[in-house]
Each structure stands twice: as structure tokens, then as C-alpha cells.
Amino acid sequence: MTINQATDYALRAVLYLARQPQGEVTEAQVISEQEVIPIRFLLKIMPSLIKAGIVKSFRGVGGGYVLAKAPGEISFLDVVEAVEGPVALNRCLIDYAFCSKKGAPNCQIHQALADVQAKLKAELQGHNFAEFIN
Amino acid sequence: MTINQATDYALRAVLYLARQPQGEVTEAQVISEQEVIPIRFLLKIMPSLIKAGIVKSFRGVGGGYVLAKAPGEISFLDVVEAVEGPVALNRCLIDYAFCSKKGAPNCQIHQALADVQAKLKAELQGHNFAEFIN
DNA sequence: TCTAAAGTATACTAGATGGGTAAACAATAG
DNA sequence: CTATTGTTTACCCATCTAGTATACTTTAGA
């Protein structure tokens, strides 16, 4: 039921970038030190944020990362799903094949969990990174 | 971010018991067959529901399980926490010691996750097993 | 054009968790 | 007493977690 460590680090990395002057490129080393994230691990996580369109990167001397959108347009859900894939409270909610009852006609547990999951996603979507800036 | 298989089975087992005539003892074998749960695994999960006061058991000939409370008094949260322990979106929300920043003064990620977690728990508590009966 | 400084890709690993099985035990109805 | 039912403990293997290592690519600037 918990987000993993990589996601926790990703949220902190995005928040750190959101706090920098707009357009300023920050290198991995700095994020790593400020947010206390093992640099190798951080460097492995960043590409998933890039693929999701949350950050942009620049290579070579003077390279680093910048947000690809305004902080207000990046939700917690965006970051969580970028790192972990789709939020699913139960494997069945991704594919009935995972269910030992094969989603037997209207499994009511399934329906209730789908409801809770929708609320959870809405909550995660309700938090964006603008809310943390001054 | 997902509940585990044991919890899924537990929810189905409790639902099955909730649908039986009040006070009727159902043996593990029957729950296992009807809900398509490996019996050995089910037998291992049930004690956690007993410790949580959700079901009662009877040993020996004619033994089995019964709900220990009315279905309306058992929430999804009760079952989830009985099997998995406290719901926590992030390890830091259980203990700051897990945080690489040691919960550095008012980590805002922490605060936002705590908010989402509270909403999630409320949603899980909002579903009980009476809603599925007739 | 060379080089040092950045990020990228891929592979590896120790330990924990997940999902289950097995075996020996304890209680109880008849 | 015995067959039937749940309990406890131990074990197992595959996958995931969190992280490290190595080799590579890109690029600014001397």
C-alpha cells in the first residue's frame, strides 16, 4: 500500500526543481546533496520523469535538469505514475486475469476497491507542486 | 501502492461469511472452494482476522469460522490493517527514521502525503460489508 | 580538436517481501 | 478414541527493492 523509495525521491527531486528560478538548470549532484538522495540512484530515476514529460535534461558540461512544465501543472499522481506505473489498489483492477475468480460476475470487492482507487487517484491529482512555492 | 494477495483473499473471505445466515459456522474448505483461495494459504490468513476481532473460529468436528461482529461494523480498513498492518503511503509516515532527510523541518512532501493518506483511510473506512448484502 | 564534466544505458547484487506449501500439533463432536 | 477441523512454525522459491558498478554518449570550452 506504500509508494516506494524511488517515488519518494522523485517527489523530492521535482519539488527541489520547482523551487529553483524558472528555467534554471540544476545538476544531479546538487539535487542529490540537498535532498539526501544517493546520486547513482537519482540518476537512474530521472529518465522516467523525462519520459513522462515532467522534466527536461541537458547533457555535457553545464548540464542538468529543469522542469518541463509549470509546477502547477505537475501533480503528485503524475510523478507517482511516472515512476511506478499506473496506480492500482489491486492487481485485478489492471487485469481480471490476475483474479483467482476471473472477475466472477460483478465481484463486489472489485467494485468497492475501484471506487476507493478512483478517490485515491483524485486526491493524488489534487496535489501539485505550485502549492509548495511561497 | 497495491494491497497484497492475502488481503484480497481476506476481503473475499469476510464477504463470504457476511453473506451466510447470521451465526452460521462455515468451514475453511467451503470458503476456499467458493472463493477460489488456496486452502493452506487461507488457513494462514484467518488467524490475523481473528486477532483483529473480525471473525471467530471453532476447532474440531463441525468447526469453522463466523463473523465476530455485524457486517456493517466491519470496514475495508479493518480487514486491510488486520492483514497488512497500518496503512502507510510512505515509510516516513510511520517513522521519521526511515526518511533520508530525517523528516527535515516540515518536509512538505510528507505533509501532502499525510493528507492523501488520511483521505485514503477514510475511504477504506467508508466501505463496510453491509453494503453488499441484498 | 581534446578533455573534463555532465547525463544515459545496462547489468549486477544482497536482502526483503510475496505467495505459497509442509508437517507437527491441539481441540472437539460423537 | 478417532476423525475432523483449525493453529503454529518452519520452510521454499521467485520477484521486487534499493542501490552499486561499468561502460558509454553528449557537450562546453580551452
Whichever domain contains B9, its CATH number is 1.10.10.10
Q: Is the CB of A61 under 7 A from strand D?
A: yes
Q: Which nucleotide is nearest to B57 (CA to C1')?
A: D6
SS3 B30: helix
Assigned C-alpha cell, A123: 486526491
Question: pTM of whole model > 0.85?
Answer: yes
The beta-carbon neighbor of A132 closest among B92, B108, B131 is B108
Å from A23 (CA) to C8 (C1')?
Answer: 22
Residue at minimal CA–C1' distance from C29?
Answer: B61
Judge contact between A68 and A56, C-beta under 8 A: yes
Q: B31 — contact with chain A (CB < 8 Å)?
A: no
Confidence at B61, pLDDT banded by 50, 70, 90: very high
DSSP string across B46-58: HHHHHHTTSEEEE
Angle CA B33–B34–B35, to nearest 5? 95
Gap from B20 CA to chain A (nearest CA, Å): 16
Domain range enclosing A92: 5-132
Total domains, chain B:
1
Q: CB neighbours (10 Å) of residue A65?
A: 26
A26 phi and psi, to 5 degrees?
A: -115, 130
Q: Which residues 30-89 of chain B have a CB under 7 Å from nucleic chain D?
A: 43-44, 46-47, 50, 57-65
Nearest nt to the B51 alpha carbon by C1': D7
Q: Is B16 exposed, middle or buried (0-12, 13-18, 19+ CB in 10 A)?
A: middle
Quick check: B60 pLDDT over 80? yes
Give me the pLDDT at residue A121, please: 98
- Residue that is written with C-alpha cell 471453532 in the block: B58
* pLDDT beyond 80 at B97: no
Q: Is pLDDT of B72 > 90?
A: yes
Provide the CB-side half-sphere exposure for B79 (13 A, CA).
33
pLDDT at B62: 95
Residues 72-131 of B with CB under 7 A from strand C: none
pLDDT top residue among B61 and A95: B61
Cα B89 to Cα A131, B3, B112, B115: the distances in Å are: 20, 12, 11, 10
The alpha carbon of B57 is separated from its chain's Cα centroid by a whole number of angstroms, namely 17
What pLDDT is recorded for position A101? Answer: 79
Task: Report the C-alpha gap between A31 and A42 in whole angstroms.
Answer: 9
Q: How far apart are CA A94 and CA A86, in angstroms?
A: 9
The pLDDT of B25-39, averaged and rounded, is: 97
Q: Is A123 on the interface with B (CB under 8 A)?
A: yes
Q: How far is the CA of B85 from the C1' of C27 (A)?
A: 29
Residues 38-57 of B with CB under 7 A from strand C: 38, 40-41, 44
